[in-house]
Structure 1
Amino acid sequence: MKQFKNLLFISLILLCWLLASCKTSKTPSGWTLAWEENFNQKKDFDLKVWSKIPRGKSDWNNYMTDFDSCYSMRKGKLVLRGIANHTQRNDTAPYLTGGVYTKGKKAFDSGRIEICAKLNAAKGAWPAIWMLPEKAAWPSGGEIDIMERLNYDSIAYQTVHSHYTYTLGIKDNPPSHSTGVIHPERYNVFAVEMSPDSLSFYVNDVHTFTYPRIQTKEEGQFPFNQPFYLLIDMQLGGSWVGAVEPEDLPVEMEVDWVRFYQRKSTK
Structure 2
Amino acid sequence: MLKHLFFLSFFFFISCAPKQTDGWKLVWEDDFNQAGGPDTATWSKIPRWHPDWAKYMSDNEACYDMADGNLILRGLVNPDRSSDTATYITGGVYTKFKRPFHGGRLEIKAKLEGATGAWPAIWLKPFEEEKYPWPSGGEIDIMERLSYDSIAYQTVHSNYTHHLNLKKDPPQGSTAPIDPDNYNVYAVEMYPDSLVFFINNIRNFAYPRIETDKEGQFPFDRPYYLLIDMQLGGVWVGGVDSLDLPVEMKVDWVRYYRKD
TM-score, with length taken from structure 2: 0.91
Q: Partner residue of 2:103?
A: 110
Moved more, 79-88 or 238-247: 79-88
Within the candidate set 142, 150, 156, 1:154 is matched to: 150
Which deviations, in whole Å up to 9, do the C-alpha atoms of 1:178-206 show, x marking residues without a partner?
01110000000000000000000000001
Partner deviation per Cα, 1:134-191 (whole Å, 9 max, x = no partner): 1121100000000000000000000000000001000000011001110000000000
Whole-angstrom CA distance in 2 between matches of 1:69 and 1:39? 18
Moved over 3 A (4+): none
Give the secondary-structure state (helix, strand or coil) at the position aligned to 1:257.
Answer: strand
Is residue 81–residue 87 contact of structure 2 (8 Å, CA) maintained in 1?
Answer: no
Q: Which runs of 5+ in 2 are unaligned?
A: 1-18
1: distance between equivalents of 2:78 and 2:253?
Answer: 28
Q: What is the 5 A alignment of 1:15-164? A: 27-135=20-128, 136-164=132-160
Paired residues of 2:159 and 2:215 also in contact (CA < 8 A): yes
Q: Could you tell me how far 1:27 is from its partner in structure 2?
A: 2.9
Residue by residue over 1:100-133, the C-alpha shift from the partner in whole angstroms, topping out at 9 and shown as x without a partner, is: 0000000001100000000000000000000000
Matches within 5 A, 1:226-265: 226-264=222-260
Tell me how far apart the structure 2 counterparts of residues 260 and 44 of structure 1 sit (CA, whole Å): 20
Instruction: Confirm or deny: 8 A CA contact 1:109 1:228 kept in the other structure.
Output: yes
User: 1-side partners of 2:108 and 2:119: how far apart?
Assistant: 16
Distance 1:185 1:60 in 2: 23
Question: 1:199 touches 1:210 (CA, 8 Å); kept in 2?
Answer: yes
Give 1:211 deviation, angstroms: 0.1
Distance 1:245 1:49 in 2: 33
Give the length in aligned residue pairs.
239
1:60 aligned counterpart, secondary structure = helix
Task: Find the partner of 2:197 among 190, 194, 201.
Answer: 201
Contact 2:56 2:231 survives alignment (8 Å): yes
User: How far apart, in 1, do the equivalents of 2:46 and 2:102 lie?
Assistant: 21
Letter in 2 for 1:157: Y
- 2:177 matches 1:181: yes
Whole-angstrom distance in 1 between the partners of 2:215 and 2:37: 43
Alignment gaps of 5+ in structure 1: 1-25
Q: How large is the Cα RMSD of the aligned pairs?
A: 0.7
The 3-state SS of whatever aligns with 1:165 is helix
* Amino-acid identity (%): 61
CA distance in 2, matches of 1:215, 1:28: 32
Which whole-Å CA distance do the structure 1 matches of 2:21 and 2:237 have between them?
Answer: 33
